[in-house]
Structure 1
Amino acid sequence: MKIIAKNKFSKMEYDVIEKYECGIVLEGWEVKSLRANNVNLKGSFCNIKNDELFLVNTHIGQYMHVVADYERTRKLLLHKKEIYRIRFKKEQQSLQIIPTMFYWKDNNIKIEIALVKHLKVHDKRNKIIKNEQDKKLKKIIANYT
């Protein structure tokens, strides 16, 4: 598995509830642009319309001289049961669906999406404090052994 791009803000801004792996419908120039790691996931999200999942607001950069819509809506490929499960959890718990990373798997481009809950400011602070405490604890354990 070779990672193409990660959403760096997903860990800082959101609390990840559940992750899914899905395929994505792309055009030829988009695949070549992804090979060159020319993608930006900041501000992108997923919508469910007519029992289908779509990736919105993801910028895949220009490849050579192709003139196209770089932030077009792209269809994600999941089983119907998974889409129903995602829709149910999203509506019940008021969650969001965001992409966390693009990667290669067996010569196919896959995207990992996550059901997330937006963190509030005090939750972010608590998360930072907890991470710092974990780092200190690991240092102490490493020095002790």
Structure 2
Amino acid sequence: MADSKVNIKNRKARFNYEVLDTFEAGIKLLGTEIKSIREGKASLQEAYCYFADESRLMVKNMHVAEYSHGNINNHDPLRERLLLLHKRELQKIKAEVEKGNRTIVPLNLYINDRGLAKMKIALAQGKKNYDKRESIKERDVKRDMDRALSR
């Protein structure tokens, strides 16, 4: 069970946002959802997190494909899912978001050593266009240097 390394990443998150702080959260899932995630059939591309009320952090638009061997009681692929964090962490995140210009972005979804689904979320601030261009420039320079070294 723990042999298969499931690590689903949100590749655009670090490009579009400057990560300020990260947290590890559990996810409340249905049976067919965890089976589908273990098969690696999930996506975080359009996902974002928000507070439903004072003490509930939810993830929305996380796509978990329907389980292939599921029946009529299969889950909805885009349903909202509850993130499980300690109360202290929730209060810290909520305070930062209320300050303004902060958002909560899922970075990756994985199965830990005990077989539980975990999501790494980040407290992030949106990048400006010039910051994104700088990231592209740094990536291109690094790629060129790696190519030169490999020759």
Amino acid at match of 2:66: Q
Q: Give 3-state SS (helix, strand or coil) of 1:16's partner.
A: strand
Q: Which residue of 2 aligns with 1:34?
A: 37
Q: How does 1:16-95 map to 2 (within 5 A)?
A: 16-48=19-51, 49-63=53-67, 64=69, 65=71, 66-95=73-102
How far residue 131 of structure 1 moved from its aligned partner, in angstroms, is 3.1
Give the distance between the partners of 1:128 and 1:87, measured in 2 at CA.
Answer: 31
Q: Give 3-state SS (helix, strand or coil) of 1:85's partner.
A: helix
Q: Give 3-state SS (helix, strand or coil) of 1:75's partner.
A: strand
Give the distance between the partners of 1:4 and 1:30, measured in 2 at CA.
Answer: 15
Q: Give 3-state SS (helix, strand or coil) of 1:107's partner.
A: coil
How far residue 93 of structure 1 moved from its aligned partner, in angstroms, is 4.0
TM (norm. structure 2) is: 0.84
Give the distance between the partners of 1:69 and 1:138, measured in 2 at CA.
Answer: 44
Q: Give 3-state SS (helix, strand or coil) of 1:32's partner.
A: helix
Give the distance between the partners of 1:9 and 1:23, measured in 2 at CA.
Answer: 22
Question: CA offsets, 1:108-127, max 9 Å, x none?
Answer: 11110011111121110012
Question: What is the CA RMSD across the aligned residues, in angstroms?
Answer: 1.9
Whether the aligned pair in 1 keeps the contact of 2:65 and 2:77 (CA below 8 Å) is yes
Structure 1 residue 103 corresponds to structure 2 residue 110: yes
Give the distance between the partners of 2:41 and 2:15, measured in 1 at CA.
Answer: 22
In percent, how many aligned pairs have the same letter?
30
Tell me: CA distance 1:27–1:126, structure 2 relative to 1, closer, same or farther (3 Å): same
Tell me: CA distance 1:59–1:139, structure 2 relative to 1, closer, same or farther (3 Å): closer
Question: CA offsets, 1:88-136, max 9 Å, x none?
Answer: 1112142110111111112111110011111121110012223334455
Deviates more, 1:46-55 or 1:32-41: 46-55
TM (norm. structure 1) is: 0.87
Q: Which residue of 1 aligns with 2:10?
A: 7
How far residue 25 of structure 1 moved from its aligned partner, in angstroms, is 0.4
Give the distance between the partners of 2:75 and 2:147, measured in 1 at CA.
Answer: 50
**Gapped runs of 5+ residues in structure 2?**
none
Structure 1 residue 126 corresponds to structure 2 residue 134: yes
